Amino acid sequence: MTSEKEIILWPKVKAMKKFHQRLIGMLGEQQPTTEMAFWFPFCKSIHTWGMKEPIDVVAFDKGNKIIEVRRFICPNEIARFKGAHGLIEMAAGNFWPLEKWVGKKLKFINKHGELNENKHFDCCIAIELN
C-alpha cells in the first residue's frame, strides 16, 4: 500500500494559451518569483529572444508526467523538447529537485479542484509523489 503525497510547486501559474501570449511569453510579464510559473499547453519548443535573464523549463507528456528538465536556458536561444505535450517556464535557479522527479506526474489545480481543458487560468501546479 502506498500513500499519495502532493506538493504544490508553483501556487501562481499563468496559462499561455493565446497566440500573442505564446509568442511574447514571459517578456510581457512581471519578473517571476519562485512561486510563479508560466504554463504553455500543447507546446514542444520555446525561444528566449529578447529576454534578459535565463529561465528553467520543465517538459511534460500527454499524461502530465515530467519528461525533461533544462536549467538556465540563456537569452536568445531556442529549445526543443522531444515528446513534450506542454512546457512550464520559470525563473532560473528554481530550488525544487525537478530532475529527480522525471517520470512523476504533475497536477494542474484551480480554485474549484482539478482543471478541465477549458479552464487554464488562476491555477497552481502540484506534483504527485508516492
Residue 79 confidence (pLDDT): 97
Confidence of residue 69 (pLDDT cuts 50, 70, 90): very high
The pLDDT tens digits for 33-65 are 788 999 999 999 999 988 889 999 999 999 999
Residue 116 confidence (pLDDT): 47
Confidence of residue 118 (pLDDT cuts 50, 70, 90): very low
Q: Comparing C-alpha atoms, which of 110, 108, 77, 109 is closest to residue 92?
A: 77
User: Per DSSP, what are the bridge partners of residue 8?
Assistant: 126
Torsion of CA 17, 23, 26, 29, to 10 degrees: -80
The pLDDT tens digits for 70-88 are 999 999 999 999 999 999 9
Q: Comparing C-alpha atoms, which of 50, 38, 37, 39 is closest to residue 77?
A: 50
Of residues 107 and 121, more confidence is placed in 107
Average pLDDT, integer, range 67-72: 98
| pLDDT of 3 over the 50 cut | no
Per-residue H/E/C for the chain: CCCCEEEEEEEEEEECCCHHHHHHHHHHCCCCCCCEEEEEECCCEEECCCCCCCEEEEEECCCCEEEEEEEEECCCCEEECCCCCEEEEEECCCCCCHHHHCCCEEEEEECCEECCCCCCCCEEEEEEEC
Residue 112 confidence (pLDDT): 59
Sign of CA dihedral 69, 104, 25, 12: negative
Average pLDDT, integer, range 108-114: 70
| pLDDT of 117 over the 60 cut | no
